[in-house]
Amino acid sequence: MPLDLGSMKFFMGPHTLGAPDNLEDTIVEFIDDAKETLDVAVQELESESIARAFVRAKQRGVKIRMVLEGDYLIAEHAVADPFDMLLKEKNESNRFLIAVLWRAGIDVRTDYNPKIFHQKFMVRDVEGTRAALLTGSTNFTETGTHNNLNHIVTIKGKSVAGEYALEFEELWGGTFGANRLRHDPAPKMPRVSKISMKTIFAPDHMPEMEIMKQMLKGSQTIDFAIFTFSKSSGIDDTMIALARAGMSIRGIADAGQGNQDWAASRPLAENGVEFFLARKHGTDLGKLHHKLMVIDGQVTVVGSFNYTEPANMLNDENIIVIGDLEEDNPESIENQKAFGAYALAEIDRMIAKHGEKIVV
């Protein structure tokens, strides 16, 4: 069962790997609940179950707009018979499903970002009283919802969904990545379930700087689960400085990424960070795909953002900082801690089940 704080829910998955929540069902239910509009910005759509939910929504009168990463829709090379409907080419399922959506009358566009369109969010019914947002680290694929370790956050109300709706309008208008002419205003800080929220989009707001700032505000612990963590990110330098100063820091990353020469995993481990790599250990684990951090047990950073320079400077990304270490309202602090505890419980489980500690 997800953490339910009324207007906000936190899901950890997939249930097929022992996590508490069914991510595919969460995405499908969000789509099935749309009544009027559904704006979708996702890197990849490969799940037939999710595609069928979009078709159902369209057939009951929901206006759907969708932006996808174009790289998954382009053939790597010409094939002998492009009319062969039984092709087994890489990404053929993505191309098939986009054709299905077009045939259903759904308006789908691809990105113009030469780097990565890495968003994973949906906004529904934003102009009505049922406005809601779904975001997190989960791609809309079978592997994303069943084989990769991921999270999803859903938030009701226009205060946060409206921020994502504005971002979607700019994407829909053709503004992507670093090739943008806009100057977004400073992020707003609405409250949901009595918790302060701060929405950050890359590259406009540079999420790396926000994460570094939040870490520097902490005084006790930093816990994280991340797919890609490179030495090009200033986040690693900040962690090293804090660990040397005595802060307790631990995290787990995907082994395939963490073993690379460019990865920050070993330098962090050499400087006092308790660092684990996620291994299969007899399971069907594909990747550890989270982009998750908890600071002092009560500020949680969620979203699509990996700790790399391209994610910060070139990609289309988003994070939400959930909570504020300067909060003084007891009920707000309690909710912040509940949110952080749900993330920490999954980090604990992943380390116990999949973690292999880097020994230096």
Q: What pLDDT is stored for residue 176 in this prediction? A: 54
Which amino acid is it at 32? D
Nearest-angstrom CA–CA distance, 182 and 179: 9
- Average per-residue pLDDT for the chain: 90
Three-state secondary structure call for residue 28: helix
Task: Write out the two tokens for 282.
Answer: 């007899």
The winner for highest mean pLDDT among 152-156, 165-169, 230-234, 317-321 is 152-156
Q: Residue 203 pLDDT more than 90?
A: no
Within a domain: 89: yes
pLDDT tens readout for residues 69-93: 766 666 666 767 766 666 666 667 7
Q: Residue 47 pLDDT more than 50?
A: yes
Nearest-angstrom CA–CA distance, 69 and 65: 14
Residue 196's domain spans which residues? 3-178+190-357
Q: Residue 168 pLDDT more than 70?
A: yes
Q: Residue 217 pLDDT more than 90?
A: yes
Residue 272: pLDDT band (50, 70, 90) is very high
Q: What pLDDT is stored for residue 181 in this prediction? A: 46
| pTM exceeding the 0.85 threshold for the entire prediction | yes
Nearest-angstrom CA–CA distance, 62 and 64: 6
Which amino acid is it at 282? G
Q: What is the helix (H) or strand (E) element at residue 208, kind and residue range?
A: helix 207-217
Domain total for the chain? 1
Q: What pLDDT is stored for residue 117 in this prediction? A: 74
Burial of 359 (0-12, 13-18, 19+ CB in 10 A): exposed
Residue with tokens 């990996």: 306
Q: What pLDDT is stored for residue 70 in this prediction? A: 65
Average pLDDT over residues 236-250: 97
Q: What pLDDT is stored for residue 53 in this prediction? A: 98
Reference 251, options 307, 312, 201; nearest CA is 307
> What is the per-residue burial (b if ≥16 Cβ within 10 Å, else e) of 318-352?
bbbbbbbeebeeeebbebbbbbbebbbebbebbbe
pLDDT tens readout for residues 338-357: 999 999 999 999 999 999 99
pLDDT tens readout for residues 93-129: 777 888 899 999 999 987 666 566 788 999 999 988 8
Residue 212: pLDDT band (50, 70, 90) is very high
Question: Do residues 210 and 198 make contact, with C-beta atoms less than 8 angstroms apart?
Answer: yes
Within a domain: 184: no
Within a domain: 156: yes
Within a domain: 185: no
Average pLDDT over residues 277-295: 95
Q: What pLDDT is stored for residue 110 in this prediction? A: 79
3-class SS letters over 177-202: CCECCCCCCCCCCCEECCEEEEEEEE
User: At 140, which CATH number?
Assistant: 3.30.870.10
Q: What pLDDT is stored for residue 232 in this prediction? A: 75
Within a domain: 183: no
Which amino acid is it at 303? G
Nearest-angstrom CA–CA distance, 347 and 199: 23
Q: Percentage of the chain surpassing pLDDT 70? A: 88
Within a domain: 238: yes
